[in-house]
Amino acid sequence: MIGLDTNLLVRFLVHDDEAQELEAAQLLAGLDQRGEDGFVPDVVLAELSWVLERSYGFSRDEIGSAVRKLLLARQLNFRCRDEVRDAVAQYERGGGGLADHLLTEQALGAGCRAVATFDENLQKRVECVAPGDALLV
């Protein structure tokens, strides 16, 4: 298995640097041919969503579609594919960034009863509460 950085996935998804896009595509195809996995850390997904939104003007739906494309690639491995899929679905519904929803899904997956946050948009999720309410749930 080999870890994959954000910039590699950006080149693969956005097609803005032909040489790097080709290298990224060759790496991913080579992993697939060898039956080897490329590991995509959760932090890379958080960075990826930020870069796609801020640098390339992607919408929530476009970012969700891009991450789902990665989830479908058999040669890509994630810490927890189900948590990523659920985080993308929550992200596309609005309120909070993909990183916020990834951390919420991870916390819930780890057995947390709630996530304490000052982010009012994220508090719209039933699992997310203001810090003052965290001990009440």
Q: Which residue ranges make up each domain of the chain?
A: 41-136
Contact 114, 127 (CB under 8 A): yes
Which pTM does this prediction carry?
A: 0.87
Q: Which helix (H) or strand (E) holds 115?
A: strand 115-116
> What string of pLDDT tens digits covers the 137 residues of the chain?
999 999 999 999 999 999 999 999 999 999 999 999 999 999 999 999 999 999 999 999 999 999 999 999 999 999 999 999 999 999 998 878 999 999 999 999 999 999 999 988 888 888 889 898 877 76
Tell me the residue type at 91: Y
